[in-house]
């Protein structure tokens, strides 16, 4: 037995190799089969020598240290993908930067073809603000801060204002919507005539 004496309730019958789990680790050891009363099994000196558990003598508890610490390195998304252009036709590789995260988070430079909106003189331009919940107000502030930081919007000094609202998405997040209906009613319509379809077809 553990103290070196012979078992009082009978001799050792057989030896068996069993697998079991302890402290989140699965291990396999040889056990001697013998009547030992109410105990299911006894882990002896050989088990202590093989597994080398950490023993807290004050609380009489055992714990098994991690055998081999795992070091995980988190790479950037571009580094993790060996070929980010894989599956994209080669003729479109020159436009890869346009679809990158860096270009998405900033406003493109202004060019000569920037459009202007011409307004009529009659009709209201401004609308009253829509009421929001506390959660929606927080979401709006976060959206404004992010867009200002990216340079996509700037503080307005215009005399025209349009209210905003949030529309829920399927994933539970919120989509910002600007109500431009009053502004659209004051916009001068572009009445440039479109060519006739039959004329276009005849030129093919």
pLDDT at 167 (0 to 100): 93
When the pLDDT of each residue in the chain is averaged and rounded to a whole number, the result is: 80
State the distance between the two ends of the chain, measured CA to CA, in whole angstroms: 100
Most confident of 64-68, 86-90, 116-120, 175-179: 175-179
Poorest-pLDDT segment among 27-36, 68-77, 101-110 = 68-77
pLDDT at 67 (0 to 100): 60
pLDDT at 16 (0 to 100): 80
pLDDT at 174 (0 to 100): 92
Which residue shows structure tokens 């379809």? 197
Poorest-pLDDT segment among 24-28, 70-74, 102-106, 114-118 = 70-74
Q: What percent of the chain has pLDDT over 70?
A: 82
Per-residue pLDDT band for 5 (boundaries 50, 70, 90) equals low
User: What's the average model confidence in pLDDT over 54-79?
Assistant: 67
pTM of the model: 0.45
pLDDT at 68 (0 to 100): 58
Instruction: Return the structure tokens found at 160.
Output: 């025209």
Q: Cβ distance 163 to 93 under 8 Å?
A: no
Q: Cβ distance 177 to 167 under 8 Å?
A: yes
For 61, other C-beta atoms within 10 Å of its C-beta total 11
> Is 78 a residue whose pLDDT tops 80?
no
pLDDT at 71 (0 to 100): 61
Distance (Å, rounded) from C-alpha 190 to C-alpha 12? Answer: 100
Domain ranges of the chain: 14-59
User: What's the average model confidence in pLDDT over 55-78?
Assistant: 67
Please, which residues bridge with residue 119 across strands?
Answer: 187
Regarding beta strands 61-63 and 164-168, do their DSSP bridges make them parallel or antiparallel, or are they unpaired?
unpaired
pLDDT at 176 (0 to 100): 95
pLDDT at 81 (0 to 100): 53
Which residue shows structure tokens 């060519």? 195
pLDDT at 49 (0 to 100): 81
Instruction: List, in order, residues 6 or more apart from 47 with CB less than 8 Å away.
Output: 29
Q: Cβ distance 53 to 64 under 8 Å?
A: yes
pLDDT at 193 (0 to 100): 86
Most confident of 22-26, 85-89, 184-188: 184-188
Poorest-pLDDT segment among 72-86, 103-117, 168-182 = 72-86
């Amino acid at each position: 037995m553990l103290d070196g004496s012979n078992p009082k309730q009978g001799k050792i019958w057989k030896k068996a190799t069993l697998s079991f789990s302890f402290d989140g680790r699965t291990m396999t050891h040889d056990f001697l089969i013998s009547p030992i009363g109410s105990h299911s099994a006894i882990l002896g000196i050989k088990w202590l020598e093989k597994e080398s558990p950490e023993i807290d003598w004050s609380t009489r508890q055992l714990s098994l240290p991690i055998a081999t610490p795992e070091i995980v390195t988190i790479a950037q998304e571009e580094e993790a993908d060996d070929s980010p252009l894989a599956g994209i036709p080669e003729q479109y590789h020159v436009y890869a930067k346009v679809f990158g995260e860096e270009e998405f988070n900033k406003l493109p430079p202004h060019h000569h073809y920037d459009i202007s909106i011409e307004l009529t003189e009659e009709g209201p331009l401004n609308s009253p603000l829509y009421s929001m919940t506390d959660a929606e107000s927080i979401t709006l502030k976060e959206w404004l801060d992010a867009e200002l930081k990216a340079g996509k919007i700037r503080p307005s000094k215009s005399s025209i204002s349009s209210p905003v609202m949030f529309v829920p998405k399927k994933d539970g997040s919120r989509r910002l919507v600007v109500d431009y209906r009053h502004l659209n009613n004051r916009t001068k319509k572009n009445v440039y005539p479109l060519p006739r379809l039959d004329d276009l077809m005849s030129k093919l």
